[in-house]
Amino acid sequence: MTAVARRAAKLSHLSARGDARMVDVSAKPASERVAVAEGRVVMKPATLDIVQKGDAKKGDVLGAARLAGIMAAKRTHELIPLCHPLALSQVEVDVAPDARLPGVTVTARVKVTGQTGVEMEALTAVAVACLTIYDMVKAVERGMRIEGIRLVEKSGGRSGHYVAREG
């Protein structure tokens, strides 16, 4: 077996020749699948104060980030190559100011009944919500950091339940 063939056997997005391909999920049974992702935007306390008070020149930072995350989850297949378009049943995006960071913690929970998981949709929702926060207050602070974007939990499908370890 060639190196390409061995690698392709391990990665479902590669053909036997090593070419990228969309995975055929037609034989998989539909089941309820849920994914939760999180991330943070770390900023100075003064910037967080502007976000919390709603004093940003561009408007409601937290509301805009929440909507951007929901919209992004719905369009993940347009942004990430080889992702399947999914009819999502639910997308929840929570944007919570956190003085301990200081900054904003973003959490997304995405649910579908289908033949493939929604991890990418949850991660995309978090990433775009974080980018929206950055965009809306970058005039105040360009040194903000987007960090810690990760899958926290997923359930459903053949691989079962996953919960990330702390840290």
Average pLDDT of 54-79? 96
Q: Which two tokens stand for residue 90?
A: 């639910």
First to last CA, the chain: 38
Q: Determine the pLDDT at residue 27.
A: 77
Q: Average pLDDT, whole number, for the chain?
A: 91
pLDDT band at 8 (very low <50, low <70, confident <90, very high): very low
Percent of the chain's residues with pLDDT above 70? 91
- The answer on pLDDT for 19 being more than 90 is no
Confidence of residue 123 (pLDDT cuts 50, 70, 90): very high
Catalytic residue among 24, 94, 98, 135: 135
DSSP E strand boundaries for the chain: 31-42, 90-98, 103-114, 145-155, 162-163
Q: Is 135 a catalytic residue?
A: yes
* pTM (two decimals): 0.88
Per-residue pLDDT, averaged over 57-61, amounts to 95
- The arithmetic mean of pLDDT across residues 112-121, rounded, is 94
- The mean pLDDT of 113-123, rounded to a whole number, is 95
pLDDT at position 167 over 70: no
Buried b (16+ CB within 10 A) or exposed e, 22-56: eeeeeeeeeeebbbbbbbbbbbeeebbebbeeeeb
Check whether 81 has a pLDDT greater than 80. Answer: yes
Q: Measured in whole angstroms, how far is the alpha carbon of residue 58 from the centre of its chain?
A: 23
97/23 Cα distance (integer angstroms): 38
Average pLDDT over residues 114-128: 96
Percent of the chain with pLDDT over 90: 75
Over range 72-85, report the average pLDDT: 95
Q: What is the mean pLDDT of residues 97-106?
A: 98
